Amino acid sequence: MNDAGNDTAHGDTQPTPSSHRPSMNRDEVTAAIVANRLAKGITWQQLADTIGRPLVWSTAALLGQHPLPPDSARQVAELLDLPAEAVPVLAAVPYRSGFPTAIPTDPTIYRFYEALQVYGPALKELIHEQFGDGIMSAINFKLDIGRTTHDGAEHVVVTFDGKFLPYHWPSD
């Protein structure tokens, strides 16, 4: 037996740092957030309120698209019973990515894709006509979701609020 009381002849040694499980990756943290949120009956709105951020931004962040401030990451981990190793993952700048396929297959996401296929060219023309040559920022950006009723049917209201960024062409 060694000084620590472990029988080294039988492989019963204290774990070394290299034998620890590697840190959770972003996909594992996201899966744990979704599973624990559902198991605890916690809404996305409650999570947004916990960290004091807008609902859509918070939901996107918790699904891996934005880094959380470390204090917010700790609050989420505590509320959802996530392991401590999830906190630095939540606070890290993520690799922002698109969809697993070129055309999204989830019906809800596909409808946004479809709407932009139909209305994207018109939106582009109207932005250029009303603002000039430039783009709407998706970085300096707000996104909100709401509901309304038309003719007795519920409707989803999605608001994109992005800063206009004009193209600047140097004149040499």
Catalytic (active-site) positions = 111, 114, 137
End-to-end Cα, the chain, rounded Å:
77
User: How far, in Å, are 11, 27, 88, 103 from residue 22 at the CA level?
Assistant: 21, 14, 13, 33
User: How far, in Å, are 23, 33, 39, 97 from residue 83 at the CA level?
Assistant: 10, 11, 16, 25
Contact yes or no for 104/95 (Cβ under 8 A): no
* Dihedral-angle region of residue 5 (phi above 0 means left; psi in -120 to 50 means alpha; beta otherwise): left
